[in-house]
């Protein structure tokens, strides 16, 4: 696997390759995680579809690792149905290797809010109150300008967004197809990493 990663890394100098590779991985990740969490909740595709007000065929498309027409609105509705939060972030390409290395079914599962509450940390171990700046950032209409630096209580804060990385991860986030064509390691490159896709989800289309 190390040699495969080194071989892949040598191709990342090509902008077209690295962005296509990252997007392909993102598509696989999102699709696999939707399927994994749905099964963790013991829901059929039809039952999840009912929660989302759509049809079973729509869920089947979303669980296809080659699907690439993601909409934040749709992912947010799925997150609500699973009672988890949706996280969208920009990431550096360097972190892609770590994400591929741990891409396994058990790492895609997420507990719902009730389950999280059962294992909640003691109150004294919880984080402090959000900062004034974070509260401002969460307020409607607040815009973050990463080019500006702030002076807060005499202490310098770095840019509110320290890094807008080159890759994007949607996590509720993955593409097997590109790896198969390129001959490079993909998320399904070994049995223990495989996240099976049911026969009913082998077709593509827009959700």
Q: What is the pLDDT of residues 80-119, one digit of tens each?
A: 999 999 999 999 998 998 999 999 999 999 999 999 998 8
Phi, psi of 138 (to 5 degrees): -85, -10
Per-residue pLDDT tens over the stretch 143-195? 555 555 444 444 434 444 344 344 445 555 444 444 444 444 444 433 344 44
Domains of the chain from N-terminus onward: 2-112+151-191 (1.10.260.40)
d(CA 49, CA 64): 15
Position 46 pLDDT exceeds 80: yes
Position 207 pLDDT exceeds 90: no
d(CA 173, CA 168): 9
3-state class (DSSP) for residue 8: helix
- Determine the pLDDT at residue 161: 38
d(CA 147, CA 84): 32
**Band (201; pLDDT cuts 50, 70, 90):** very low
Position 60 pLDDT exceeds 60: yes
Task: Write out the two tokens for 126.
Answer: 């919880």
* Residue 36 vs residue 168, higher pLDDT: 36
The answer for residues whose C-beta is within 8 angstroms of residue 45's C-beta and 6 or more apart is 38, 56, 59, 60, 63, 200, 201
| DSSP E strand boundaries for the chain | 87-91, 150-152, 155-157, 167-171
d(CA 171, CA 30): 7
- Determine the pLDDT at residue 162: 44
- The whole-number average pLDDT for the span 115-138 is 74
Q: What is the DSSP string of 61-110?
A: HHT-TT-----HHHHHHHHHHHT---EEEEE-THHHHHHHHT--HHHH--
The answer for residues whose C-beta is within 8 angstroms of residue 115's C-beta and 6 or more apart is none
């Amino acid at each position: 696997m190390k040699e495969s990663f080194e071989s892949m890394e040598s191709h990342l100098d090509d902008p077209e390759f690295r962005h296509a590779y990252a997007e392909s991985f993102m598509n696989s990740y999102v699709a696999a995680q939707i399927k994994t969490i749905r099964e963790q909740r013991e829901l059929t595709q039809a039952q999840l579809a009912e929660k989302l007000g759509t049809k079973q065929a729509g869920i089947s498309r979303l669980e296809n690792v080659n699907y690439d027409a993601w909409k934040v609105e749709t992912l947010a509705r799925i997150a609500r149905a699973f009672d988890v939060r949706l996280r969208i972030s920009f990431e550096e390409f360097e972190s892609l290797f770590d994400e591929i290395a741990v891409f396994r079914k058990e790492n895609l599962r997420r507990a719902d809010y009730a389950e999280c509450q059962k294992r909640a940390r003691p109150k004294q171990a919880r984080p402090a109150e959000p900062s004034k700046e974070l509260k401002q950032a969460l307020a409607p209409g607040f815009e973050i300008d990463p080019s500006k630096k702030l002076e807060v209580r005499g202490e310098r804060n770095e840019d509110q967004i320290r890094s807008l990385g080159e890759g994007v991860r949607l996590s509720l986030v993955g593409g097997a197809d590109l790896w198969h064509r390129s001959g490079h390691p993909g998320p399904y490159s070994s049995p223990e990493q495989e996240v099976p896709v049911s026969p009913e989800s082998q077709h593509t289309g827009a959700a």
